Amino acid sequence: MKVKLYHPTREIILKGPKQVAVLLRELNLPKEAHLVICGDELVTEDLVIPDDQTVEIRPVISGGE
Amino acid sequence: MKCRQCQKSAVIKMERHNTSLCGGCFNLYVHDQVDRAITEQKMFDHGEQILVAISGGKDSLALWDVLIKLGYRTAGLHLDLGIEAYSEVSRKKVETFAASRGLDLIVHPYKEAYGLGVIEIAEETARPACSACGTMKRYHFNRIAMERGFPVVATGHNLDDEASRLLGNVLQWQEEYLEKQSPVLSDEGGTWARKVKPLFRLAEREIAAYSILNRIDYIVDECPMSKGAKMLLYKDILNRLEEASPGTKHKFYLGFLKRPRAATATAKPVDLHPCQSCGQPTPGAVCGFCRLMQRVTP
């Protein structure tokens, strides 16, 4: 599967299928600070992403002041 | 995973509420939380016109979207900070959002007004970037609201913003800031525009989810000046606590709001008078913004 990441913006390829919760854990990305978009849809952590899918892992934290 | 309300497929699991919701039910939840914040804290009513501070990020655009859907009269204010590509993209997102919904938008570009962007102003005054930016934002939100007759300025500060600010204030025992920290800052009898934070009951993750679900096109990139900012560290720490113990951020901030402030109430009432330079209310002879700009203007 193709995974889009931010900070810096990049794409990586991982072997699927893989559950969203497992994907975040393997990438060491906290659930509370990220959302996963599969295709065009927001998905929950129990969803299993097929190998041929593209997903975006979007960080939700912002702000400095 | 199924929606706890209607059994459709869920789009988000919220550990702190021990629930999962579908898109439709989640939107209702977000609207309800904002409505509850506005009502409980007496932020404003439908008769008042609200100036919404819009950065182009998820929080402010989601806030504007929700306020419109709840039927409030609004206009947007975008401060173009002059941070090169970041500000260009941000401004474009804001203008596109406003145009697509036919909303009134005020844009105040720093470079046109002062010949400098916020980075240059921070550098010339040797102030931390977020500190200089905060001073300038607070000044312009108030000044533009007062000049244009808006009694209320709404910002997109969320639960994570407020909890991390509280953590920072507690760690440094900033008692004066602790006393003032609130989702509503009074207009001091019409001296200021009232400042309100209608998203304070919603976690940052929930607002990002709302923006994605409602196809709000926001800037995902971080402000380049916020790198290494303490607030980001505090947010990270709170998110680790949240994962270990869901509801921590909510209990921390909302618990703080419920507590009496007497223990920290040390500040005396502030005597405000017009700034000698710009006329805006200030406790000193010259306001913080004018002092900042005096250091960059030859």
- Interface residue B13 vs chain A (CB under 8 A): yes
Contact between B1 and B12 (Cβ < 8 Å): no
Q: Do A64 and B161 count as a contact with CB atoms less than 8 A apart? A: no
pLDDT in tens, B59-76: 999 999 999 999 999 999
Is A26 inside a domain boundary?
yes
For the structural domain made of B24-268, what CATH number should be given? 3.40.50.620
Structural domain total, chain A:
1
Domain residues for the domain of A39 are 2-59
Position B265 scores a pLDDT of: 55
Q: Where are the domains of chain B?
A: 24-268
pLDDT band of A65, cuts 50, 70, 90:
low
Read off the CATH number of the domain in which A40 is found: 3.10.20.30
Position B48 scores a pLDDT of: 97
Which amino acid is it at B170? V
Q: Which residues of B are annotated as a binding site for Zn(2+)?
A: 3, 6, 22, 25, 275, 278, 287, 290
Mind listing the pLDDT tens digit of every residue in chain B (298 residues)? 999 999 999 999 999 999 999 999 999 999 999 999 999 999 999 999 999 999 999 999 999 999 999 999 999 999 999 998 999 999 999 999 999 999 999 999 999 999 999 999 999 999 988 889 999 999 999 999 999 999 999 999 999 999 999 999 999 999 989 998 999 998 888 889 999 999 999 999 999 999 999 999 999 988 888 887 899 999 999 999 999 999 999 999 999 999 987 554 555 667 888 999 999 999 899 999 999 999 986 6
Is A65 inside a domain boundary?
no
Is A64 inside a domain boundary?
no
Which amino acid is it at B221? D
Residue A64: closest CA among chain B residues belongs to which residue? B226
- Interface residue A46 vs chain B (CB under 8 A): yes
Phi/psi region, residue B187 (left: phi>0; alpha: psi -120 to 50; beta: rest), is: alpha
Is A46 inside a domain boundary?
yes
Selecting from B1, B229, B236 the residue whose C-beta is nearest the C-beta of A46 gives: B1
Strands B19-21 and B49-53 turn out to be: unpaired
| pTM for this model (two decimals) | 0.95
Position B267 scores a pLDDT of: 54
Position B268 scores a pLDDT of: 62
CA-to-CA distance for B93 and B97, rounded, in angstroms? 6
| C-alpha distance from residue B233 to each of B161, B170, B229 (Å) | 12, 15, 7
pLDDT in tens, A14-45: 998 999 999 999 999 999 999 999 988 999 99
Token pair of B55 as six digits: 């950065």
Which amino acid is it at B99? A
Is A52 inside a domain boundary?
yes
Position B269 scores a pLDDT of: 65
**3-class DSSP state for residue B28?**
helix
Position B124 scores a pLDDT of: 92
